[in-house]
Structure 1
Amino acid sequence: MTIQLRIRRQGPDKNAYWQTFELEIDPSLTILDALIQIKESQDGSLSCRKNCRNTICGSCAMTINGRSALACQQSILAELANSPVPNQIAIAPLGNLPVLKDLVVDMSDFWQKLSAVNPYVSTAARQVPEREFLQSPSDRAKLNASGNCILCGACYGACNAVEVNPAFVGPHALAKAARLVADTRDSDTDQRLDQYNTATSGVWGCTRCFNCNTVCPVGVQPLDRISEIKQAILARSGEATHNQDRPLRHRQVLLELVKEGGWVDERQFGLRVVGNGFRDVGGVMSLVPLGWRLLRRGKFPLRFEKSAGQAQIKAVVTALQQKQPYSKIEAKKKGMKC
């Protein structure tokens, strides 16, 4: 079968350009097979990373038809079916990382952010160094998903949060962080949760775009792992809302207001989250210009009316907080739609 590979090429300190290669190849082979054929028979200067060719090492991560993927995992036939251009496959380097040459990117930032979460089990609290620290099968099972990560960079290349906020540590690092939070052998859980509980670089910087889950080639589901860290932060937080960091206060105040009124009272929301209930003078002052503009234009709500279904919404939220099932039958009895 004759196909076309349209490859985005770029040399050091040079502008990127697209080059189209035409080749005769078995469509049951992989994208990596096609790249190797081009390199061996058409252009030996084409650069890409490869190693195991079996979805183990993660070296061949790149952007294929607009999404992050492993070239050794994606078949030519499947990519032709997904391509917007008939009989052509577009291949580019991973996103969010500087290009060294063609499909090879500089992974330095990727590794530095992984290092920032301290991705190793702490042994500081161990008192019996001559013994192994064993885990039960159920404890070990909690580590399975994040332990499958091969650090290919697919999630990082597809991450919208990294694209708009370079300080965000990335889904790969937080997936590894979730493993350590769940690991019963680790002695630094509280310190880790403090570190990950930051507004922009930690878990709260995630935009929940779901891209990382979609592109992960080995089913780690980084967004789910980030959510697990958030739940650990929330579960640990026993102090009053006003003593919490703003990201955590944002989430809890939102839930409280929905529970109280059925929807969000915007007046209270700003004051309780940004102004911390008048405890943060700077935060309160930052709201004044916005409040004044809304008031001048007649858009500032002077009253707040609870929603008609506030009682049912409160019941649902309360049931979820208590981890009690709120069945469709119960909802139907109260006139709610599920």
Structure 2
Amino acid sequence: MQVVFKIVRQNQNSLPRVESYPLDVESSATILDCLNQIKWQQDGTLAFRKNCRNTICGSCSMRINGRSALACKENVGSEIARFSASSAAAPNQIPEITIAPMGNMPVIKDLVVDMQGFWANLKAVDPYVSTAARQVPEREFLQTPAERSQLDQTGNCIMCGACYSECNAREVNPEFVGPHALAKAYRMVADSRDDRTAARLEKYNQGTEGVWGCTRCYFCNSVCPMEVAPMDQIGKIKNEILARKDGQTGRSIRHRKVLIDLVKQGGWIDERQFGLQVVGNNLKDLKGLMSLVPLGLRMLSHGKLPAKFEPSEGAKQVRSLIESVQAFQTESKRL
């Protein structure tokens, strides 16, 4: 079949350009097969990373038709079908596949990006098991099969960078360590051999560089080729933090706890109470309270500040659902 590959190319510190390469390939050919064919037969200057060709090393991650994926995993036929379903291409038009470098990382050349920041952020979460405080001579730190199974999902991460490339939080907040780092961080939190769980949770709870910097866009989950589900792991760290902290610890934790409490009470959020309890810390944070005054005045002037709160009709059902989920989570931890 005839396919045109449109590849975004650029040199370091230069503007990108798009170059087109027509190919005659089988629909079963992987994107990496096609890039190899272009490099070997049409343009030897094309630069991209590759290694195992078997979805193991993560080297060939790049943006394929707008989403980060492994070039060795995606094939021409499925990619054309996926893209055609969401576009208005003419029936007889030669299909096109656009290849671009990953996002959130500076380009070195063509599809090769500088991953130093990616690795530095991974290092920042200390992704190594610590047993320094529990040294027992001539004895291993054994785990039960159940304890080991807690590490399976995060252990599948191949550090391809796809989640980091698509992370909205990382794009707007350079302090956020990224979903890859926090997925690895949860592996340490869940590891029964580690003796630094409390210290780790304190670290991951700080500001917006840790778990509270996540915007919950789910892009990291949608592009992960190994089904690590980084955002789910971030949520698990948040739950661990919330289980150990009370509402006075910080605004991020109050935000989560107050939101759940208010929805349980009324079925939806009483915004008046939400601001006072989260930002004003139940009238204990004067600076926070003062920051609410301009917003409150604007709401009053536009008739947007309700005099009373009306619970939703399904408040009892909502409360029952939340309590059921909380009971399930408590029981799961026991098991």
TM-score with structure 2 length normalisation? 0.92
* C-alpha spacing 1:276/1:88, structure 2 compared with 1 (3 Å): same
Q: Determine whether 1:292 maps to 2:300.
A: no
> CA deviation digits over 1:252-288, x for unaligned, max 9?
1011111222221111100100111111111111111
Provide the rounded CA distance (Å) in 1 between the counterparts of 2:167 and 2:3: 30
The residue that corresponds to 1:56 in the other structure is 56
The structural deviation recorded for 1:100 is 0.6
Q: Secondary structure at 1:130's aligned position in 2?
A: coil
Provide the rounded CA distance (Å) in 1 between the counterparts of 2:197 and 2:54: 35
Percent identity of paired positions between Structure 1 and Structure 2: 58
The residue that corresponds to 1:215 in the other structure is 223
The structural deviation recorded for 1:194 is 1.0
Provide the rounded CA distance (Å) in 1 between the counterparts of 2:154 and 2:329: 28
The structural deviation recorded for 1:129 is 4.0
Provide the rounded CA distance (Å) in 2 between the counterparts of 1:309 and 1:116: 45
The residue that corresponds to 2:257 in the other structure is 252
The structural deviation recorded for 1:163 is 1.5
- 1:80-159 to structure 2, matched below 5 A, reads 80-83=80-83, 84=87, 86-159=94-167
The residue that corresponds to 1:277 in the other structure is 282
Report if aligned partners of 1:208, 1:223 keep a CA contact under 8 Å in 2.
yes
The structural deviation recorded for 1:24 is 2.0
- 1:223-238 to structure 2, matched below 5 A, reads 223-237=231-245
In the alignment, structure 2 segments of 5+ residues that lack a partner are 331-335
Q: Secondary structure at 1:322's aligned position in 2?
A: helix
The structural deviation recorded for 1:217 is 0.8
Which amino acid in the other structure matches residue 8 of structure 1?
A: V
Moved over 6 A (4+): none
Alpha-carbon RMSD = 1.6
Provide the rounded CA distance (Å) in 1 between the counterparts of 2:191 and 2:50: 32
TM-score with structure 1 length normalisation? 0.91
Which amino acid in the other structure matches residue 50 of structure 1?
A: K
The structural deviation recorded for 1:76 is 1.2
Which amino acid in the other structure matches residue 56 of structure 2?
A: I
Report if aligned partners of 1:4, 1:89 keep a CA contact under 8 Å in 2.
yes
> CA deviation digits over 1:7-34, x for unaligned, max 9?
0000122110110001222221111111
Provide the rounded CA distance (Å) in 2 between the counterparts of 1:309 and 1:76: 49
Which has the higher mean CA deviation after the structures are superposed, 209-218 or 306-315? 306-315
Q: Secondary structure at 1:5's aligned position in 2?
A: strand
Provide the rounded CA distance (Å) in 1 between the counterparts of 2:17 and 2:187: 40
Q: Secondary structure at 2:323's aligned position in 1?
A: helix
> CA deviation digits over 1:75-126, x for unaligned, max 9?
1111121234551100000011111100000001100110110010112212
Which has the higher mean CA deviation after the structures are superposed, 93-102 or 223-232? 223-232
* C-alpha spacing 1:23/1:319, structure 2 compared with 1 (3 Å): closer
> CA deviation digits over 1:302-335, x for unaligned, max 9?
222223333333333333333399xxxxxxxxxx
The residue that corresponds to 2:74 in the other structure is 74
> CA deviation digits over 1:192-246, x for unaligned, max 9?
1111113421112112111111111111111111111112112223x3x2x2211
The residue that corresponds to 2:186 in the other structure is 178
Provide the rounded CA distance (Å) in 1 between the counterparts of 2:29 and 2:144: 42
* C-alpha spacing 1:275/1:324, structure 2 compared with 1 (3 Å): closer
Q: Secondary structure at 1:6's aligned position in 2?
A: strand
Which has the higher mean CA deviation after the structures are superposed, 207-216 or 134-143? 207-216
Which amino acid in the other structure matches residue 274 of structure 1?
A: V
The structural deviation recorded for 1:247 is 1.0
Provide the rounded CA distance (Å) in 2 between the counterparts of 1:180 and 1:56: 22
The residue that corresponds to 2:175 in the other structure is 167
> CA deviation digits over 1:163-214, x for unaligned, max 9?
1222211110011001000000000001111111134211121121111111
Provide the rounded CA distance (Å) in 1 between the counterparts of 2:169 and 2:305: 31
The residue that corresponds to 1:196 in the other structure is 204
Provide the rounded CA distance (Å) in 2 between the counterparts of 1:324 and 1:276: 27
Q: Secondary structure at 1:134's aligned position in 2?
A: coil
Provide the rounded CA distance (Å) in 2 between the counterparts of 1:231 and 1:272: 20
In the alignment, structure 1 segments of 5+ residues that lack a partner are 326-338
Which has the higher mean CA deviation after the structures are superposed, 217-226 or 296-305? 296-305
Provide the rounded CA distance (Å) in 2 between the counterparts of 1:40 and 1:315: 63
Provide the rounded CA distance (Å) in 2 between the counterparts of 1:250 and 1:284: 15
Report if aligned partners of 1:10, 1:16 keep a CA contact under 8 Å in 2.
yes
Provide the rounded CA distance (Å) in 2 between the counterparts of 1:19 and 1:317: 53
Which amino acid in the other structure matches residue 220 of structure 1?
A: V
Provide the rounded CA distance (Å) in 2 between the counterparts of 1:324 and 1:82: 37
* C-alpha spacing 1:324/1:5, structure 2 compared with 1 (3 Å): closer
